[in-house]
Structure 1
């Protein structure tokens, strides 16, 4: 019997070799991550949990890879075709092994940048090879070279091994009967390994979220599993946030439109249930021009008065000339999430940003669309290539009449991996505002900076560096602040200053990381509204990026219909909402009155108290009641409801 089993097992040699080598390699990589992040791993979990759960996740992914040749085996288990199956299986499993090695080799650099294993961002960035390769070469050159060599050596070794194993196969007589007997047992074991549980639902990444540190949770799985699951989830984009609760669409809409800051709003459209009329808090004979300056990765980390390092002296001076937001929070950790929140006032979700999703490329609200209907000329200025992250398509389909990008800059001062420098960008912005100063048509401009982006390339000029070498994030922020200061020195001395409203705000902080489910302090960003007749003011209440668009419209003197549920912070007759929300991977955070509630997958939640001085979260003793939790769940589920049903738009009849 044992002899027959051994004889039958030789037919499955490609699978045996692949499973064994893959599990060993993945375990060795996980051991390497333990050395890199031992403090966080040992603080969050035990070594037993770390390695055993890791092995369990590895078995899942390895099982998926082996399932294809296993299911094909019965069609080839005969004297004439067995060697063909053997050959094809070797080639397929060798390819899978290369994928495993490639993704694991790429993981450390990705972890350093995003504090998680490769996920959807990994293959989204593959759409932009020029920017990605330039960033890797300038910022991670050593690791890139090591990765290429490692994958090359792996490919070479596999080629030699495949030839050797296949040659042995040709010399060996296959045992078809024994292989037939073993086949159902091997398939059953493989399927059980993929499910990894006998519970009603198979294991998924949430199954391995056993610590409060999201990065450590990601280490428990492997990178090929992480990327594959992210790709699989793309088909669930529309309902990405339904995981947070059991509310119906109508219940979600009813709860969110009952927010206190919307108490006097009416909602006239059943098809677009969040659309309401916003009356401007300031009456003007002619509405102000509006300029939004979206600063790349300029988080509170770099602003001294917000608890960061002293890298933004010009912004610190400018804050005394306008409305300074002391507790403003980003909705996410990527530029498209910041664009979505600031320009469209749209809340965050687990799905890709609506800047990229197909159903939001037209008939989707943006502040540009609202202002265009009010007679504004609307434009977007970017120093890089506007096709990046699908910005050009999203903007042109939703209210932006003109798009200016890298190709439109003549003789720029400096060109880096991500386009022209911030000084070039702001000079272009200044020139555009000067050219339009005598026009009777008001203008709206979105200007998006890029110098503060990995690999942090910028002209040194007269900027005093904070450290050596030059191309570091701290120096890039110092340069970005310098360019911003130069621009406002010009703007304040220009004729257009008196009729132009400016918003300076970060899209997100750089390198959002931490050992919490949501590293709240890394979502803290600066925000400043200034220009025209704006008097200095400190906005001390908690605010979200989605509150900025309605506030700008109101101060500029624009009364119009909007679907956004952000608060007009210029109103003094309504108490501030004093809340912010954010998305970090699969976790949705709701921050209100120093209390952070984190919604996790499968409708779970955790609650924390936040100490702004130490920037630490501790489990909260004050638990929210069910009504308060339902309110948070409704806001978390709202993006999916609005996007899936194409509700986030102001119909022409309400213009």
Structure 2
């Protein structure tokens, strides 16, 4: 009720919003059912007269622990909603693996709420212990036979409470979704339930997309062969059904080096607000994407899309999943096979989000992180500053160029990250906001980027290096739309070497960047990617893929306004329009069958490729690649 009051403006947009409170009570009964289940199942044993003293002590401990969990999760909820515009979910669990970064962020960005939550937790423990020991709540049972007679009735009631429905499938958080506003939907359930369901889903991630509906493997293979911009290619490896030969659009005697600068949390809105003057200036010197969309809302989702060209799924990013730690396609893998030095350069700890494991297992021969900076100018919670990061990158590129080594490098920035700790006297702060704010962090990140690009342009490696500057995602995703499409809109820029200025106005996805970079760099190769080479002569696909928590959206810009198809777990697909210029999502209606089937195929395909471990270029393709090169050389 307190959260309903805090977000009353959004709650009141729902015509029958008071019913949401009753829905919330129903969702709470599920949690209560889970809390009761374990003591109830062991009751027949512990209620035996010799064990009743143990039964009493167990119930006291169970009462304190289970209720403390509920109270703690609710105490942590307001700060989480302020950051992510939704109740605690799988991110709450994942970030527990990185205590240093998380505690640093909480202490510097949410110190007051952190201390208040800790105080609340201590007081709650004290009160619950007193309650558990009170005579008024001690279990009363004089006859074992009476308890056993009533026990089956209580078990049935508990099972009904947990299922919450007599339908074929038990209720889940999507069952309680009644609006197009993700926050409002999450408010009707408890944070404990949201996190508990996230834990359950993490155990079944291999088939996560099945919650939208199942697609047969043969149908998925047929769908791949029917993708319009892949009509002219062949798929020679049945075990790897998406692997195809991509002929580079640029014929180069010596392929270019490739540098990807992955900008932390840089939404397109910052560029529009004038907070990135350096990016705006450099956008006039290369390919500028006006309608580029991220596949997700987390850094690892951006990494898998940009570096691996992999489509999003409702599961965790493949950067974190077990079956993709080896023999999973990345740009580093294909370029390492062609003789490139491949590196990941980061200012923080490279093990964060499992990046080091994923990169070293999939083609990156060198990792540079926080431990490799001898005397950084500035160090924050998340590592060295962007200036230190770019100075290290510039130093490495000069070394590799002098050694005449072709190189591929992924540079991942971190200065634009809460708690936004920045070096002094580098930028003119934005007026009207605290110095330690996202606006100033964006300005500083842009300042560091501009300095680096100028250094690079003045260097000897500029003329044979292709640069991609792209965001991993926007800084925060919020709003009352089921899928806040505008918060997936990110800047992207390809420049360097002989790239001529160009504005790309059609809708593009992060997954299109990998094949495009290879093609512009003059690298022909076998690839499993399903993104489009935007430098090829085929018409632009004009579409994007958006994964927002458990919701998948397929954005199709072939019409005006654009069309969008939305898939939800165990619910009917929805469709609407999206006005790209006004950034306005239309009213959601049941999706036409053909559009729903297309979106489902795009959503199911990556999960199937991951589960079957088929997103990889087999080693046999290396011989075929060499043969193609020999034929091309002979023709010349």
Same-fold status (TM-score > 0.5): yes
2:598 aligned to 607, 611, 631, which one?
Answer: 631
Q: CA deviation at 1:491?
A: 1.1
Q: CA deviation at 1:182?
A: 2.5
CA distance in 2, matches of 1:383, 1:341: 21
1:116 is matched with which residue? 86
Q: CA deviation at 1:177?
A: 4.0
Q: Which runs of 5+ in 1 are unaligned?
A: 1-30
2:538 is matched with which residue? 574
SS in 1 for 2:575: strand
Q: CA deviation at 1:437?
A: 1.8
1:324 is matched with which residue? 288
1:190-269 maps to which residues of 2 (within 5 A)?
190-269=158-237
Q: What is the CA deviation profile of residues 168-211 of structure 1, one whole-angstrom value per residue up to 9, with x for unaligned ones?
A: 849x7734343333322222211111111122221111110111
Aligned 8 A contact 1:44 1:213 in 2: no
Q: CA deviation at 1:613?
A: 3.1
Aligned 8 A contact 1:277 1:560 in 2: yes
Q: Which runs of 5+ in 2 are unaligned?
A: 623-636
1:89 is matched with which residue? 59
SS in 1 for 2:12: helix
2:16 is matched with which residue? 46
1:553 aligned to 510, 518, 525, which one?
Answer: 518
Mapped pair 1:488 → 2:456: no
1:351 is matched with which residue? 315
Cα 1:35–1:620 shift into 2, 3 Å: closer
Q: CA deviation at 1:79?
A: 3.0
1:470 is matched with which residue? 435
1:618 is matched with which residue? 586
CA distance in 2, matches of 1:364, 1:586: 24
1:500 is matched with which residue? 465
1:417-566 maps to which residues of 2 (within 5 A)?
417-467=381-431, 468-566=433-531
2:613 is matched with which residue? 646
TM-score, normalized by length of structure 2? 0.95
CA distance in 2, matches of 1:310, 1:431: 30
2:134 aligned to 146, 160, 164, which one?
Answer: 164
Mapped pair 1:404 → 2:368: yes
Q: What is the CA deviation profile of residues 231-277 of structure 1, one whole-angstrom value per residue up to 9, with x for unaligned ones?
A: 11112111101222332012012113311110111000011000000
CA distance in 2, matches of 1:303, 1:257: 38
Cα 1:624–1:180 shift into 2, 3 Å: closer
Q: CA deviation at 1:292?
A: 0.1
CA distance in 2, matches of 1:293, 1:639: 25
Q: CA deviation at 1:78?
A: 3.4
Q: CA deviation at 1:628?
A: 3.3
2:123 is matched with which residue? 153
Range 56-65 or range 462-471, more displaced = 462-471
Aligned 8 A contact 1:256 1:635 in 2: no
Aligned 8 A contact 1:44 1:212 in 2: no
Range 482-491 or range 144-153, more displaced = 482-491
SS in 1 for 2:25: helix
Aligned 8 A contact 1:66 1:93 in 2: no
Q: CA deviation at 1:475?
A: 1.0
List, as ranges, runs of 4+ consecutive aligned residues in structure 1 with deviation greater than 6 Å.
none
CA distance in 1, matches of 2:479, 2:411: 30
Q: CA deviation at 1:625?
A: 4.5
SS in 2 for 1:303: helix
Aligned 8 A contact 1:344 1:366 in 2: yes
Aligned 8 A contact 1:256 1:631 in 2: no
TM-score, normalized by length of structure 1? 0.92
Q: CA deviation at 1:591?
A: 0.5
Q: CA deviation at 1:650?
A: 0.1
Give the RMSD, CA atoms, in angstroms. 1.5
SS in 1 for 2:239: coil
Aligned 8 A contact 2:141 2:147 in 1: no
1:336 is matched with which residue? 300
1:103 is matched with which residue? 73
Range 315-324 or range 65-74, more displaced = 65-74
1:277-426 maps to which residues of 2 (within 5 A)?
277-304=245-272, 309-426=273-390
Q: What is the CA deviation profile of residues 283-342 of structure 1, one whole-angstrom value per residue up to 9, with x for unaligned ones?
A: 1111111000000000112011xxxx2110110000000000000000000000000000
CA distance in 1, matches of 2:184, 2:591: 27
Q: What is the CA deviation profile of residues 586-643 of structure 1, one whole-angstrom value per residue up to 9, with x for unaligned ones?
A: 110111121111111125211121122332111268x864333322211110111100
